[in-house]
Chain A
Amino acid sequence: MNTEKNIKTLIVKKSLKLDCGKTIKDFPIAYETYGSLNSKKDNAILVFHALTGDQFVTGINPVTNKEGWWSYAVGPDKAIDTNKYFVICSNVIGGCMGSYGPSHKDNDQNIFGTNFPVITINDMVNAQYNLLDYFGIDKLFSIAGGSMGGMQVLQFISNFPDKSKTVIPIATTSSHSAQNIAFNELGRQAITADSDWKDGKYTLKNTTPGKGLAVARMAAHITYLSKKGLQEKFGRKLQEREDLKFGFDADFQIESYLRYQGSVFVDRFDANSYLYITRAMDYFDLAKQFNGNLSKAFINTNAKFFIISFTSDWLYPTQENKDIVIALNSIGADVGFVEIESDKGHDSFLLDVPDFLSALKNFLDKSYEEK
């Protein structure tokens, strides 16, 4: 799936005990960096990617030849200014852009497929923590991420309370809701129902469950947009035709758009990784790790939090972001919060939303001046 030559990899020698009980060691973490680490090593920002992201945050992704997933936010003079900050991002374990995942081989040289251990958000951040040692960074200036990236942000500061000065969870939740799990299950069912999935052994059989994965992506993509955004962009516009064709081709532009989103996704993403990563999101419940008291997850940190949500995000709505704010306020933590007005749905954090980008930039730059 990936072109190895463009992928930087750290082999983690230390063993890591996973939540499922299994232990992994000598496993790869694929990462990328932007900007440069200063001599005091106090300008590093660890960025966490979302479900289908990867370590190629900005600029041209050398594997897909497309813009990095957070190109609007990260780069020279942008909100996360790489002239100033050293940005690190790594592919999550379970992923398919070079980090240890289901497309890797086990000790007997068989491709893992569904024999890969089920991983959690906790496992992901514990694996990524090794990057701090690798770069000799004692304390990060910031950790940031949206959606599943935000879940990793929350888990990271809970696990390593003194390892970041500032903490920026965006459009996220501390616990996957029934609705979130339902949409993920729909995606997984689409993949496993594809006869080319072959119980996860599709690579061995030289097939790929492209249809199932495309449907999973199409369903998920709808959840990333808002009703208003969809209506304004597509409405009932027809796709390259004057009138309805009384058939099941893509009559409407929205159908054609979703089909396209599904087809390009299949080219860059591994179906088994999709199963594993959505499972990790579903298992995420930070409060549960602290006997139902979310505040306790943050009791040991002095970090400065800045939480951002979007008005039209119905996947991780404002209230779920506010619940994190409330948990932090109840222990007197330093927390700021803003809900950004946007019609672009959950995807707002990835798009050109000026109020969001300026809030992010101002928070980072002002916090950096004060450090």
Chain B
Amino acid sequence: MKNEFQVIADLIEKDKKVLDVGCADGTLMKFLKDNKNINIRGLEISKQKVQECIAKGLTVIEGNAEKDLKQFPDKSFDYVVLSQTLQAFLNPELVLDELLRVGKKAIVTIPNFGYWKVRFHLLLKGTMPITKTLPDEWYNTPNLHMCTIKDFFHFVKSKDIKIFKSLALNNLNSSTINESNLGVKNLFADLGIFLIEK
């Protein structure tokens, strides 16, 4: 399991009710279910991935986060997880609002467009950056709204969303982000992980 999922799992206490939005093949769901006795549900847009989840014995609903989150009642999950998908929505702000309505807390991870390798790629090569977390070409990437850790940090603050924890992930190292080290983390982390609440 990738390090990002380990960090997310560490943020969630045992025996909670969790919704994994864009749960893909259910790797994180399965880990949470087996290791933390989590009552876990998934929402996934790909039929193929939904089938993979069913084969793992996971409860998944085929659906689209931009349309289908509205069916869940307010605060019906302890945590709602959204891993590296926010930037792919037509309206990320709306999805973020929905995550925080449905979940008592939300864990959102974003690929950091401020990562130094991304910046260097554009600066030196002059072409759209391709990295481990951003593997697609400009013409086939699902990402519509790329942002940096700094962007997201400011965005969340401007919406009066409470940040409980913000972590910068670089390969296997995770470290805490705060106001004073934001510039450095924004340069050296390829992924930001935020535990938020509204």
Residues of A within 8 A of B (CB): 304, 306, 325-326, 329-332, 334-341, 355, 358-359, 362-363, 366-367, 369-370
Contact A358 B51 (CB under 8 A): yes
A residues in contact with B18, CB < 8 Å:
none
Contact A336 B61 (CB under 8 A): yes
Contact A337 B63 (CB under 8 A): yes
Could you name 23 residue pairs across A and B whose Cβ atoms are closer than 8 Å?
Answer: A304-B59, A306-B54, A325-B61, A325-B71, A326-B71, A329-B61, A330-B71, A332-B76, A334-B59, A336-B61, A337-B60, A338-B47, A338-B51, A339-B62, A355-B47, A358-B51, A358-B55, A359-B51, A362-B51, A362-B54, A362-B57, A366-B54, A366-B56
B138 at the interface (CB under 8 A from A): no
A residues in contact with B54, CB < 8 Å:
306, 336, 338, 359, 362-363, 366
Contact B61 A337 (CB under 8 A): yes
Contact B62 A329 (CB under 8 A): no
* Chain B: minimal CB distance from A167 (Å): 13
Complex: A121 Cα to B159 Cα, angstroms: 51
Contact B60 A336 (CB under 8 A): yes
User: If A369-B57, A370-B57 touch, does A330 touch B73 (CB 8 Å cutoff)?
Assistant: yes
B72 at the interface (CB under 8 A from A): yes
Contact A337 B62 (CB under 8 A): yes
Residues of B within 8 A of A (CB): 41, 47, 50-51, 54-63, 71-73, 76
New A-B pairs, 6, CB < 8 Å, besides A335-B61, A337-B63: A325-B71, A329-B72, A336-B54, A337-B61, A339-B47, A366-B55
Complex: A329 Cα to B76 Cα, angstroms: 9
B residues in contact with A334, CB < 8 Å:
41, 59
Q: Which of B47, B55, B57, B73 contacts A367 (CB 8 A)?
A: B57
B residues in contact with A304, CB < 8 Å:
59
Contact B59 A336 (CB under 8 A): yes
B residues in contact with A341, CB < 8 Å:
47
Complex: A335 Cα to B50 Cα, angstroms: 13
* Chain B: minimal CB distance from A170 (Å): 14
Complex: A370 Cα to B34 Cα, angstroms: 12
Complex: A370 Cα to B56 Cα, angstroms: 11
Complex: A332 Cα to B17 Cα, angstroms: 10
B residues in contact with A329, CB < 8 Å:
61, 71-73
Complex: A293 Cα to B54 Cα, angstroms: 29
A residues in contact with B62, CB < 8 Å:
337-339
Complex: A358 Cα to B107 Cα, angstroms: 32
B residues in contact with A370, CB < 8 Å:
57
User: Which residue from chain B places its CB closest to the CB of A334 in the assembled complex?
Assistant: B59
User: Which residue from chain B places its CB closest to the CB of A370 in the assembled complex?
Assistant: B57
A residues in contact with B72, CB < 8 Å:
329-330
* Chain A: minimal CB distance from B21 (Å): 13
Q: Which of A332, A340, A359, A362 contacts B73 (CB 8 A)?
A: A332
